[in-house]
Structure 1
Amino acid sequence: MGGRPLEENMSTTTPADLLPCAEPVRFLDEHGQLTDLGPETTARGYAMPSDEDLLAVWRQMVIGRRFDTQATALTKQGRLAVYPSSRGQDACQVAPVLALQEDDWFFPTYRDSMALVSRGLDPIEVLTLLRGSWHCGYDPVATNTAPQCTPLATQAVHAAGTGYGLARRGSDGVALCFIGDGATSEGDFHEGLNFAAVFNTPTVYFVQNNKYAISVPLEKQSKAPSLAYKGIGYGIRSEQVDGNDAAAVLAVTRRALEHASSGSGPFLIEAHTYRLEAHTNADDATRYRESEEVTAWSTRDPIARLRTYLVGTGALTPEIEEQVSAEAEEYAARVRELMNAEPEVAPLSLFEHVYAQPTPQLREQAAMVAAELEEIQA
């Protein structure tokens, strides 16, 4: 989606420069109409993306949501052990990864399967972890994509270290780290931000604030005016954005990546969005939130919002819409077909690649499994 311009190293940054906008950056309202950006947004250099780029984002959101719906169905059919849906967070899943360049690294959480397929990873390899047949289905080094992280916030430290390594090697690459709102309450999040700031690493932290850490609402997690303010104490430039406005998410993420790639240090983004589905297929969301709340957020659908805008500009025609819809169905059909095949499993492989040198405890566990397998096969 185009090269990344670089800005000068901002050694003269003042505390005021670190503050996010008073209101989340928004280009398109809930009805897909352009908003008045205001002087604050314009002064920060956030530019409305081209129709061509937004059409690419819309297309991938349509395909990504169809993938997400299909994966949710696979859990009900017993083909996946668990699946955390990201429906409703589509703009946050797609726009940031489409802004990445070849040398950039991506650090996803367990909820970011849509982001991974949007990055171009094979969907079956993406679902391998959630199927329970291997630690990670794709090659992290070949794809510049870390394994999906289930423990909250541990990837924040990994991203800081990777950013540091990229800078030491003279690369223009950036480490983009996805974080959930609940993860901002974890120690690893703060350690990662502090390291990234002190060592001026090219790391962008993208917080998907979907309002719940499983069942814990945001107001019971943090008293900060916005989670974006959590970067200021570490000396990190921060911003908040309407996470259901794909145009704004793309613009702010691009600016953050430019900032980090130029040597100006890390950047923290808080995207205000909402998880429409339950935490996972094992969760009953009706126990902690009202249906009226979900219905209200459904009217802020990021795909519908961007579609309305693109139809209005003439960039999205009925022919293109029909073509993308067919492409999404073909994608889902391929996922169904490949997931219906039973995976070849090797139970002892679970103990591979855990440590460079297996610990005594790991060897003992492997021996126990080997003994059980021999007993079963006898």
Structure 2
Amino acid sequence: MLRSLEQLDDLTSTVTAPDALLQLLPPDGNRVAHPDLDPWVADIDGAALAALYDDLSVIRRLDVEATALQRQGELGLWPPLLGQEAAQVGSARALRRDDFVFTSYRENGVAYCRGVAIAELMPVWRGTALSGWNPYDVGMATPAVIIGAQTLHATGYALGCAIDGADSVAVAYFGDGATSQGDVAEAMVYAASFHVPVIFFCQNNHWAISEPVGLQATRPIADRAPAYGIPSLRVDGNDVLAVMAVMRIALDRARTGGGPTFIEAVTYRMGPHTTSDDPGRYVDPVERAEWAAKDPIDRLERHLDSLGLLTDELRESVKRSADGAAAELRRACLALPEPEALTVFDNVYAEPHSGLERQKREYSAYLSMFEGGAS
């Protein structure tokens, strides 16, 4: 097992080439050995692989259904995660219940793995609530739309864990575009300085909206972290096993006093930035096709097949899970009640706030000018 900073540095040094990635499950599905990673997924047997296959398939089906709902006018917006399922599932399934997650708006797969109810994914995107779930019920904050801000939140939470003497870990999920934000730099400086148990998990999906990652990162993003004093790992983000392994390494290091770790999961955003975006205007179809051949679900299917585990029964079971989840998502979305206008002022501050009360009175007076009033 890798426990010391020196051992982690040795592993990091093997993947410094721009195209080098830690990997256990290549696109052809044939498992490759890695002496440093293998021990961390030695418990992943056939049943566990089937469960990961179910996770990946359900999350993709939910994503496709939500995108369809937006196209049909039932959601105001949706941030697709198509192609990034393995990065989210592999990392989230490595966590304990007492760990705490801080994400951006695209980590619906992480939310699913953390136990967020499918119905709770919908309100914020349908515009019927400011949020969707109680963070303390699932160990996951609601999504941060301000790019990179969640890295500060995670670092602060991790410092609290350290002060309390707990071995819980905080994880910040963010994209490659966020690494150009000052908040991320500040969080990493603080995390390194105070040696806090936080993991910076960057999903490098190659696009910051329409800007390719090469415009803001001439070197692998993982190369930045060591300059802050934080060891980093660069992993194939479409390989659910390798992602799980490096996440477990980082978690173990944080729990045993090793401090922060930076993980760059290299993947690809196969869809739009959000449903208001048109990637056809800037994505090279040849590049997209190349990444489609590295699909995270396809490679796990091939691996299961090579083990003789991809049975008709498993396929049917996974299809039922995915279709059932999609149906539940649609039902939950369409059943959301229209909120009363003045509830927009609820849950903005924890305590009464005079400025907010004044705005509420003024808005109520404005609404009273129309038929139906402030209902």
Question: Under a length normalisation based on structure 1, what TM-score does the superposition of the two structures give?
Answer: 0.91
Structure 2 spans left out of the alignment, 5+ residues:
none
Among candidates 313, 329, 334, match of residue 323 of structure 2? 329
Name the CA distance, whole Å, in 1 between partners of 2:272 and 2:326.
Answer: 21
Name the CA distance, whole Å, in 1 between partners of 2:90 and 2:319.
Answer: 19
Residue aligning to 1:95: 90
Cα distance, 1:48 vs. partner? 5.2
Matched, 1:267 2:264: no
Among candidates 72, 80, 86, match of residue 85 of structure 1? 80
Residue aligning to 1:212: 207
- Greater displacement, 183-192 / 115-124: 115-124
Residue aligning to 1:277: 271
- Greater displacement, 149-158 / 319-328: 319-328
Residue aligning to 1:200: 195
Look up the SS of the partner of 1:204 in the other structure: strand
Matches within 5 A, 1:169-208: 169-208=164-203
Matches within 5 A, 1:121-140: 121-140=116-135
Residue aligning to 1:120: 115
Cα distance, 1:108 vs. partner? 1.5
Contact 2:86/2:240 (<8 A) preserved: yes
Among candidates 246, 251, 255, match of residue 245 of structure 2? 251
Name the CA distance, whole Å, in 2 between partners of 1:353 and 1:13.
Answer: 47
Matches within 5 A, 1:47-66: 47=41, 50-51=44-45, 52-66=47-61
Contact 1:18/1:232 (<8 A) preserved: no
Look up the SS of the partner of 1:375 in the other structure: coil
Could you tell me which amino acid in structure 1 is paired with residue 24 of structure 2?
F
Could you tell me which amino acid in structure 2 is paired with residue 340 of structure 1?
L
Contact 1:92/1:208 (<8 A) preserved: yes
Matches within 5 A, 1:143-154: 143-154=138-149
Name the CA distance, whole Å, in 1 between partners of 2:366 and 2:317.
Answer: 52
Cα distance, 1:117 vs. partner? 1.5
Contact 1:20/1:240 (<8 A) preserved: no
Name the CA distance, whole Å, in 2 between partners of 1:44 and 1:239.
Answer: 15
Contact 1:232/1:238 (<8 A) preserved: yes
Residue aligning to 1:28: 25
Look up the SS of the partner of 2:155 in the other structure: helix
Name the CA distance, whole Å, in 1 between partners of 2:311 and 2:337.
Answer: 41
Could you tell me which amino acid in structure 2 is paired with residue 282 of structure 1?
S
Cα distance, 1:314 vs. partner? 2.6
Contact 1:97/1:119 (<8 A) preserved: yes
Look up the SS of the partner of 1:271 in the other structure: strand
Look up the SS of the partner of 2:101 in the other structure: strand
Matched, 1:238 2:235: no
Could you tell me which amino acid in structure 2 is paired with residue 35 of structure 1?
V
Name the CA distance, whole Å, in 1 between partners of 2:84 and 2:8.
Answer: 33
Look up the SS of the partner of 1:42 in the other structure: coil
What CA deviation, in whole Å up to 9, does each residue of 1:53-109 have, x standing for no partner?
322211100111111111001101211110010010010121111111011001121
Name the CA distance, whole Å, in 2 between partners of 1:78 and 1:191.
Answer: 39
Name the CA distance, whole Å, in 2 between partners of 1:55 and 1:259.
Answer: 28
Contact 2:114/2:140 (<8 A) preserved: no
Contact 1:19/1:229 (<8 A) preserved: no
Could you tell me which amino acid in structure 2 is paired with residue 215 of structure 1?
S
Look up the SS of the partner of 2:368 in the other structure: helix
Contact 1:20/1:229 (<8 A) preserved: no
